[in-house]
Amino acid sequence: YAKHSGKNTFKFFSVALNKESEQKQKIARQLRKAIARNEFTLYFQPVVNVTTGAIKGAEALLRWNSFKLGNIEPSVFIPIAEEIGIITSIGEWVLFEVCKQNKRWQDLGYTTITVSVNISAKELSLRGFAKLVERTLAVTNLEAKYLGLELTETAIKKDPELSIQQLEYLSGLGVVIALDDFGKGYSSMSYLRKLQLSRIKIDRSFIQHIPHNREDTIVTNAIVTLANNLGLKITAEGIETKEQYEFIRTTLTDSAQGFYFSRAVSAEEFALLLQKGVLPPSH
Ligand code: C2E
Ligand code: MG
Ligand code: MG
Ligand code: MG
């Protein structure tokens, strides 16, 4: 009986795996055509000053509306794009579009807006990445300090030496470097010292259960203290409730983003938010 059920279990899993890889291949096929077909759009989630609610900038988040498959989430297509090696061309597109867009906002008079781009491991471990960023800034005529790069420790781990070297170069130009999803991994502490960081972003998973979960509250307070002592600025990610907002207001966190302020919106909608300047809480 055990043998029998084991076999069935195996069959079940292999069917499920085949289905999964079929779906993946379908996505991969469409993903290769997505840039040429103009299927990508950038959305912008406002980052606000915790004390005043003033919009300081935004995080650019990629949206894919596939002609064949409909809307697909970044958490689904980004890993596939990494796997099939096209994340670098997608990343190049994102970088250029973000710089171009931010330059337009700067020209409209919103001269203090920093827009951040998420960088994947494949990009950062590519020799020439730093030069690509420099060239993109030059071509779009955007000052380096208005561009932010967000990277995770996974991205750095792929080739730490080259990553650190490129980040040093970029931070030397004035690009704002942030460590994303801080606290999610295991060895972030060592990178805090080795990287030319301006900022860390506290992972949403810590914020989620604040202030009811005592441990998460303690850990978040400790992260904030650590970052402050290292001279790093802090963004709290994933603020959804008034309570969470009140909590981070009392810590030394300087900026925040989350659905409580605004979801990621289109460039047009973001321009309207910039006109208002300050984001009132949504509830
Ligand atoms: P991330 O960089 O940590 O981005 C934050 C994610 O959290 C975004 O999801 C955002 O919509 C979501 N978020 C923001 N505030 C809240 C909140 O209050 N509550 C909740 N539940 N979620 C919130 P999104 O847009 O689905 O992106 C997921 C991930 O995909 C990003 O995580 C980033 O790692 C990756 N990604 C997105 N765009 C790009 C891109 O252009 N290039 C690369 N390499 N990765 C990207
Ligand atoms: Mg990010
Ligand atoms: Mg994040
Ligand atoms: Mg994340």
Note the pLDDT tens digit of each residue in 101-123: 999 999 999 999 999 999 998 99
Q: What is the pLDDT of residue 2?
A: 44
Question: pLDDT for 20-46, tens place per residue?
Answer: 788 999 999 999 999 999 999 999 999
Asked if ipTM goes beyond 0.85, one says yes
- From ligand 3's centre to the CA of 137, what distance in Å? 23
Bridge partner residues of 57 (DSSP):
47, 114
Return mean pLDDT, the chain: 91
pTM: 0.93
pLDDT for residue 167 is more than 90: yes
Among 48, 61, 237, residue to substitute to test ligand 1 (most atoms within 8 Å of Cβ): 61
Which ligand 1 atom is nearest residue 78's CA? 45
Q: State if residue 75 touches ligand 1 by the CB under 6 angstroms criterion.
A: yes
Yes or no: say if 273 and 265 are a contact pair by the CB < 8 Å rule: yes
With CA atoms as reference, report the closest residue to 274 among 46, 107, 62, 59: 46
Calculate mean pLDDT across residues 3-13: 57
d(CA 213, CA 229): 25
Q: Fill in the DSSP letter of residue 241.
A: S
Looking at the chain, list the stretches that DSSP marks H as alpha helix, in order from N- to C-terminal side.
2-34, 74-83, 87-107, 121-124, 129-140, 153-157, 160-173, 188-194, 204-207, 214-229, 242-250, 267-276
Of 19-28, 58-67, 137-146, 186-195, minimum mean pLDDT range:
186-195
Dump pLDDT digits (tens) for 246-281. Answer: 999 998 789 999 999 999 999 999 999 999 988 877
Measure CA 36 to chain center. Answer: 24
Question: 55 or 212: whose pLDDT is higher?
Answer: 55
Neighbours of ion ligand 2 (CB under 5 A): 118, 150, 180
- Mean pLDDT to the nearest integer, 67-91: 96
Judge if the beta carbon of residue 118 lies within 6 A of ligand 1: yes
